[in-house]
Amino acid sequence: MVSVDKKKRMKIFKELENFQQRDFCFSSGHILGSMCAQPHPIAREAYIQFLETNLGDPELCPGTKEIESRFIAFISKLLHAPKTSVGQIVSGGTEGNITAMWIAKQLSGKKEVILPESAHFSFQKIASLMNMKLIQVPLTNEYIMDITEMKKKIHKGIAAVIGIAGSTELGTIDPIPELSDICSDEHIFLHVDAAFGGFVIPFLKDLHYKVPEFDFTLKGVSTISIDSHKMGYSAIPLGTLMIRQKHWLESISVESPYISSEKQAGILGTRSGAPVAAAYAVAQYLGFEGYKKMVKSCMDVTSYTEKRLKELELSLVMKPTMNVLGVKLKKPGQIVKKLSEQGWRVNKVERLSCIRLVLMPQITKQIIDEFIPVLQKICEEVGEL
């Protein structure tokens, strides 16, 4: 162990702390716009314990590799993945989407992607990185992909169709069962972006909310991306891409002569085992029952927030599908700026002229009670109310 000079250490940590003080932190409860959560305490502990591990060299860390396999088995069960499937650990939704499109392009040899207008901006990166063309489908009045319009876009050059299960802007769920039928008839790769909704929808179903199927029980679903650093209640960076057929991974594998495994699939080489251990620890700690309780509590806070906003006579873009609320405003940018000055972080969605509130697990009704008068005052000042 390297010895640490106490004086130098103190000076450096003082400097770090000064910078950190400028950050918004989840523990304040004042971050209402982020899709990430304050990591569960179990995640924090496991993360630190596995700081030096490298899953890019699996023979160096066979124990951590086993944790990864067990974590993937957990996700596989959650998403009803078939025995033929395989999971690929990724850094989050962006890498999950990139990896899925890489596979779709390799398998089909085609370059065009059909996706809803609500798709995350990571697909713009995909188009640029992989020279793919995005074909956008308009949304219905319920802010989900319009299937009639989608059908019109199908042609021989399509590499993949994207369905969103928990959209970034409003938490909506595209009609994945219909997309599955169409893609299975047309033999087109269907990727479901459940980066946010993957840890919500299965539990909403258990809680008897009316939500469409979105997982591998639908035979046309090829891949699903799901993030532990969003509603998985774990630490950044961690997502999983579940892939229906294990052999599809070969299409994105290269020989890896310098390390213990013969081949390496995916984008990254060296990658930390810490977020994997953290996500596994949280999954073990909460189990499906714990996640169900967490989702129930987020939905209770969502309904409460909805009620409090209605009392202010502010309207929502739509009835929320999950724990994401779009609040209609004439000047969302100005409201976000003023809220930020008061120490509250929410995100604006200019396209829909709204602000987005995400009711993550650390947000309580008490926090909403603190937030509402601040929002009210600002709205009155700028003439929204």
> Binding residues for ligand 0PR, per CB under 6 A?
34-36, 92-94, 97, 120, 122, 164, 166, 168, 193, 195-196, 227
CB of 384 to ligand 0PR, least distance (A): 23
Is the Cβ of residue 120 or residue 244 nearer to ligand 0PR in the bound state?
120
CB of 3 to ligand 0PR, least distance (A): 38
Residue, CB closest to ligand 0PR? 93
Is the Cβ of residue 260 or residue 342 nearer to ligand 0PR in the bound state?
342
Is the Cβ of residue 67 or residue 231 nearer to ligand 0PR in the bound state?
231
Long-range contact list for 353-356, CB < 8 A, 24+ apart?
353/328, 353/329, 354/317, 354/326, 354/327, 354/328, 354/329, 355/33, 355/326, 355/327, 355/329, 356/33, 356/169, 356/170, 356/324, 356/325, 356/326, 356/327
CB of 59 to ligand 0PR, least distance (A): 29
Is the Cβ of residue 53 or residue 97 nearer to ligand 0PR in the bound state?
97
Long-range contact list for 371-377, CB < 8 A, 24+ apart?
371/30, 371/32, 371/344, 372/308, 372/309, 372/311, 372/312, 374/339, 374/342, 374/344, 375/312, 375/314, 375/335, 375/339, 376/312
Query: Exposure of 382 by Cβ count < 10 A (0-12 exposed, 13-18 middle, 19+ buried)?
Result: middle
SS (H, E, C) 230-253: CCCCCCCCCEEEEECCHHHHHHHE
CB of 240 to ligand 0PR, least distance (A): 12
Q: Decide: helix, strand or coil at residue 107.
A: helix
CB of 141 to ligand 0PR, least distance (A): 21
158-164 and 189-194 beta bridge pairing: parallel
CB of 130 to ligand 0PR, least distance (A): 16
* CA angle (87 as vertex; 60, 192 as ends), nearest 5: 150
Do 84 and 76 meet the contact criterion of CB atoms below 8 Å apart? no
Is the Cβ of residue 193 or residue 384 nearer to ligand 0PR in the bound state?
193
* CA angle (193 as vertex; 187, 199 as ends), nearest 5: 125
Is the Cβ of residue 65 or residue 120 nearer to ligand 0PR in the bound state?
120
Is the Cβ of residue 195 or residue 274 nearer to ligand 0PR in the bound state?
195
DSSP-derived letter for residue 97 is H
CB of 177 to ligand 0PR, least distance (A): 19
Is the Cβ of residue 31 or residue 329 nearer to ligand 0PR in the bound state?
31
| Structure tokens belonging to residue 13 | 């940590």
CB of 109 to ligand 0PR, least distance (A): 25
